[in-house]
């Protein structure tokens, strides 16, 4: 499951891609309407991804804590230096966190169904 979240795979079949490739900076979270493998909707309901913002807050909070703590403790940075590093990392990881939190959110909402492929094959 974690590798499926990490690789932005469809939560149901874990084979289809959750985001349209290749990565486009102008549309960082552009998704196909449905999973190309199992037909799972990537937008189960309007406003579905508002919940993903909470995941993103939690992720960002932990990353910030680790970066600032790590810089000050291990690298002996001042508070200002540590926050400068944090801002740079936050900018660089913005799209990554955004995509990852949406991926986590849909994996919570949609259950894995490994028999789904077989059902489609029979039809
Ligand atoms: Zn799928």
pLDDT tens digit sequence for 81-90:
999 999 999 8
Tell me the residue range of the domain where 49 lies: 2-122
| Structure confidence at residue 68 (pLDDT) | 94
pLDDT over 90 at 24, yes or no: no
Residues with CB under 5 A from ligand 1 (ion): 10, 12-13, 16, 35, 37-38, 40
In contact, 81 and 88? CB cutoff 8 Å: no
pLDDT in tens, 36-71: 899 999 888 888 988 898 889 898 899 999 999 999
CA of 115 from ligand 1 middle (Å) equals: 11
| Structure confidence at residue 120 (pLDDT) | 53
Q: Which long-range contacts (CB under 8 A, 24 or more apart) does 103-109 make?
A: 103/5, 103/6, 103/8, 103/18, 104/5, 104/52, 104/55, 105/48, 105/49, 105/51, 105/52, 105/55, 106/11, 106/18, 106/42, 106/44, 106/48, 107/1, 107/4, 107/5, 107/11, 109/11, 109/44, 109/48
> How many domains, the chain?
1
């Amino acid at each position: 499951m974690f590798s499926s979240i990490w690789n932005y795979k469809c939560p149901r079949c874990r084979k289809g891609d959750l985001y349209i490739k290749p990565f486009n900076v102008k549309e960082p979270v552009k998704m196909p309407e449905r999973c190309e493998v199992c037909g799972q909707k990537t937008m189960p309901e309007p406003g579905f991804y508002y919940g993903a913002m909470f995941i993103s807050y939690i992720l960002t909070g932990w990353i910030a804590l680790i970066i600032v703590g790590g810089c000050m403790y291990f690298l002996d940075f001042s508070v200002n230096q540590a926050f400068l590093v944090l801002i740079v990392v936050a900018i660089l990881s913005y799209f990554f966190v955004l995509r990852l939190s949406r991926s986590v959110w849909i994996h919570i909402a949609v259950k894995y169904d490994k028999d789904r492929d077989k059902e489609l094959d029979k039809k």
